[in-house]
Chain A
Amino acid sequence: DIQMTQSPSSLSASVGDRVTITCRASHGISKSLAWFQQKPGKAPKSLIFGASTLQSGVPSKFSGSGSGTDFTLTISSLQPEDFATYYCQQYYSYPITFGQGTRLEIK
C-alpha cells in the first residue's frame, strides 16, 4: 500500500498569510494526487487533482505542485473561510489512500 504522510498535522496562521502543506508518498505516484478541503460537519470538497490542476470553481489562491513522491498545497492570502482541514489523496494505485490531514487554525 502507498502511505501518504502530510506535514504539519496542524498549523496556525493569520488572515492574509500564505501557507504551504506538504504531502509525501511512500512510493512514486506520478501526478496522481488530489487535495481536499473539509470543514466541520461537511463532506470533503475537491480543490486540486493531477497534483496541480484546479477543480472548476476553486479560487486561484489555491495552488498545488509536485510529482513522484513530494507534493505541496499552497494557499495564499488566507481568509476566514479557508480555515479547515486539508487532506491529500493518491489515486495512482489501489488501495486508494489519504493523508492523515492538516488542520489549519486561526492564530
Chain B
Amino acid sequence: QLQLQESGPGLVKPSETLSLTCTVSDDSINTYNYYWGWIRQPPGKGLEWIGDISSSGTTYYNASLTSRLSMSVDTSKKQFSLNLSSVTAADTAVYYCARRPRASYFDSWGQGILVTVSS
C-alpha cells in the first residue's frame, strides 16, 4: 500500500522559506498517471489546496500563493518538494502531501507535518 511521508522543519522564522519534502514509498511517482500535491490546514480550520506537480515537473499552483511558491520533483529519489518563501504566521498549518490520479481526487495522503511560523 502506498505511503507518503512529509519531512522538514517544524519551526520556521517569519520572512524565511518553508521547505518540505514528501517521500513516496512506491514507483508510482515514475509514471505519468499521477499528480503529486500539497494541501495545508491551519489549526482548527479547513483544507486549502496549495499546488500539484506531475512526474515530468509540470506545476499547477494556487493563485493566492503563486508569487511565493515553488514545487519540484525528483523521481530518482521518489520525492517531491515544496518551497514557500516570505512566510508569515498565516502560513502556520499542518502540511499534507498527497497523490492524485490525473483529473481525479486525492486518493492517498501523508500523515501531515505541523509547521509553525514564529520567531
Contacts and interface: CB of A to CB of B under 8 A. Distances in A.
A71 interface: no
Contacts of A94: 60
A98 B107 contact: no
Contacts of A99: 46
Secondary structure dominating the interface of B: loop
B32 to A, nearest CB: 18
A77 B62 CA distance: 38
Task: Count chain A CB atoms within 10 A of each CB in B96, B104, B106 and give the residue with the most.
Answer: B106
Contact of A98 (B37, B46, B109, B111): B46
Contacts, number: 49
A86 to B, nearest CB: 11
Interface residues of A, number: 21
Contact of B63 (A36, A43, A91, A95): A95
A98 B47 CA distance: 6
Interface string A66-81: 0000000000000000
B103 interface: yes
Contacts of A49: 104-105, 107
Given A34-B105, A89-B106, A98 B49 contact: yes
Given A43-B110, A43-B112, A44-B109, A87 B62 contact: no
A99 to B, nearest CB: 8
Nearest 10 CB-CB pairs, A to B?
A: A34-B105, A43-B109, A96-B49, A98-B47, A49-B105, A101-B46, A100-B46, A91-B105, A95-B62, A43-B112
Interface of B: 37, 46-49, 52, 60, 62-63, 96, 100, 103-107, 109-112
16 contacts: A34-B106, A43-B96, A43-B110, A43-B111, A44-B96, A46-B106, A46-B109, A49-B107, A87-B46, A91-B104, A94-B60, A96-B37, A97-B49, A98-B48, A98-B49, A101-B46
